[in-house]
């Protein structure tokens, strides 16, 4: 079936460095891949999405790369800041008859060291 | 302010006592969904609704019910809660044109003893 999995449950980076959070998925019947950020005590917050027919998409300080050959997705955060400390989820969204199917990965906790 | 609200935020109850967690959004979104979050498992979809009177099961619907009688509200009903339903619950909403961008509520932490 469909799934998404993250490579590392935790990631620690120095403030100002770039962060790369990785995600692998099975099957490719998805319309969108999405990254959400969850800060402590809050609900997930949308960061960026990428359609399955794209390879790269950039936002403000973030870039998502999609490699369909190896079924790999990554989120790159430039110049990581303390406010980036959170759990990051890769999510796949598939259109199906009558609705959408949303599958979350387990999450990677990003620690930013000052 | 555009938001998704959930009530209650915290609830401790006993096995078998029916409860309802309310969810409301003020963004006129068609799509609403319920998730549960458990340690190490990410979020798992319980039920979703594409619009008023249209609901469907997610990946873990057993033990839950939902209704969508109004566009803004999407309550989650536990008819007979059990300890394995102890979890953190999130409601989310989005426009059907941008389902990939869901807006989440603050969460409801439920403990069933």
CA contacts within 13 A on the Cβ side of B61:
11
Rg of chain A over Cα atoms, rounded to whole angstroms, equals 14
Cβ-Cβ contacts under 8 Å, A45 against chain B: 104
**CB distance A91 to A36 below 8 Å:** yes
With CA atoms as reference, the chain B residue closest to A92 would be: B100
d(CA B104, CA B101): 10
Question: How many percent of chain A have pLDDT more than 70?
Answer: 93
Residue A1: pLDDT band with limits 50, 70, 90:
low
Residue count of chain A, please give it: 114
Contacts of A34 in chain B (CB under 8 A): 100-101
A65-77 pLDDT, tens digit each = 999 999 999 999 9
Cα→Cα distances A98→A64, A114, B59, B102, Å: 29, 47, 15, 18
Whether pLDDT at A57 is above 80 = yes
Kindly tell me if the per-residue pLDDT of A4 is higher than 90.
no
Find the mean pLDDT for residues A20-24. Answer: 94
Region B72-99 average pLDDT: 95
Question: Hey, what are B45's tokens?
Answer: 């979809």
Six token digits for residue A99: 């609705």
Residue A28's pLDDT band (boundaries 50, 70, 90)?
low
Q: Tokens for A80?
A: 């990581």
pLDDT at A49 over 80: yes
Sequence-distant (≥ 6) Cβ neighbours of residue B97 within 8 angstroms: none
Report the percent of chain B where pLDDT is more than 70.
100
Residue A99 to residue B50, Cβ atoms within 8 A: yes
């Amino acid at each position: 079936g469909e799934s998404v999995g993250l490579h590392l449950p935790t990631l620690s980076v120095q403030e100002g460095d770039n962060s790369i959070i990785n995600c692998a998925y099975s099957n490719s019947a998805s319309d969108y891949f999405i990254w959400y950020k969850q800060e402590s005590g809050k609900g997930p917050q949308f960061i960026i999405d990428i359609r399955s027919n794209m390879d790269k998409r950039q936002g403000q300080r973030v870039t998502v790369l999609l490699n369909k050959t190896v079924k790999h997705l990554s989120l790159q955060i430039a110049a990581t800041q303390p406010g980036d400390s959170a759990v990051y989820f890769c999510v796949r969204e598939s259109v199906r008859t009558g609705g959408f199917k949303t599958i979350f990965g387990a999450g990677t906790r990003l620690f930013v060291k000052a | 302010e555009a938001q998704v609200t959930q009530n209650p935020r915290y609830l401790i109850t006993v096995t078998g006592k029916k409860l309802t967690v309310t969810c409301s959004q003020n963004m006129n979104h068609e799509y609403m969904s319920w998730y549960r979050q458990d340690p190490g498992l990410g979020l798992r979809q319980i039920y979703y609704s594409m619009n008023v009177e249209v609901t469907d099961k997610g990946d873990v619907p057993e033990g839950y019910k939902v209704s969508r009688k109004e566009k803004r509200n999407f309550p989650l009903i536990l008819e007979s809660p059990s300890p394995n339903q102890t979890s953190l619950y999130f409601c989310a909403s989005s426009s059907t044109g941008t389902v990939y961008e869901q807006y989440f509520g603050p969460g409801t932490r439920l403990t069933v003893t």
